[in-house]
Amino acid sequence: MHTDRDPEATTAIQNDFDFMFGSWTVQHRRLKERLTGCDDWEVFAGLSQTQPILAGNGNVEDNLVELPGQPYRAIALRSFDPGSGEWAIWWLDGRSPHRLDTPVKGAFTGDIGEFRAHDVLNGQPLIVRFLWKKGAVPRWEQAFSTDDGATWETNWTMDFTPIA
């Protein structure tokens, strides 16, 4: 596929997730139930480490999620497509080691990255949205919409603090 993309612009886009390289402590905040009107949040810790792969066209984030009573390992796998300028993000949960979640796809505009996918939860079709917010304490948010994006339920956030 031929593209007229500016090589410098592609490199800048390819580096969108470089801010996550390194080791982090993570504060998780997660709704106890999703898509039920629940407003009961649980807060717990975690650790994360991100490194580049695919000669810079991707990265892998290794996580220890200290979910109360059931800590587990998981990875986020991200790859960049220079042709489309889009990132794809997959989640692999160590509790289900043979199941990759449906990838969310999208891009950054400034310091905000938005990534979406159509998926199903408990038989209910929905749109999954990941938001990445760059900054001194980067933040990831997950939200679900069952009305084609008219409204969103944010159900998980992760705030990352660098480990010195």
SS3 state of residue 10:
helix
Q: How does pLDDT run across 29-38, given as a tens digit for each residue?
A: 999 999 999 9
Q: How does pLDDT run across 66-91, given as a tens digit for each residue?
A: 999 999 999 999 999 999 999 999 99
Mean pLDDT of 112-121: 97
Beta bridge partners of 156: 30, 142
What is the C-alpha separation between 54 and 111, in angstroms, rounded?
A: 23
What is the C-alpha separation between 66 and 21, in angstroms, rounded?
A: 21
Mean pLDDT of 22-35: 97
pLDDT for position 164? 85
Domains in the chain: boundaries: 7-162
pLDDT band at 8 (very low <50, low <70, confident <90, very high): low
Nearby residues of 131 by Cβ (< 8 Å), 6 or more positions away: 112, 113, 114, 115, 139, 140, 141, 143
Q: How does pLDDT run across 95-116, given as a tens digit for each residue?
A: 999 999 999 999 999 999 999 9
Beta bridge partners of 93: 74
pLDDT for position 76? 98
pTM for the model stands at 0.90
Say if residue 65 is exposed, middle or buried (CB neighbours under 10 Å; 0-12, 13-18, 19+): buried
pLDDT of 60 strictly over 90:
yes
Say if residue 130 is exposed, middle or buried (CB neighbours under 10 Å; 0-12, 13-18, 19+): buried
What is the C-alpha separation between 25 and 98, in angstroms, rounded?
A: 27
pLDDT for position 12? 54
CATH of 7-162, one of 3.40.718.10, 2.40.128.20, 1.20.140.10, 1.10.357.10: 2.40.128.20
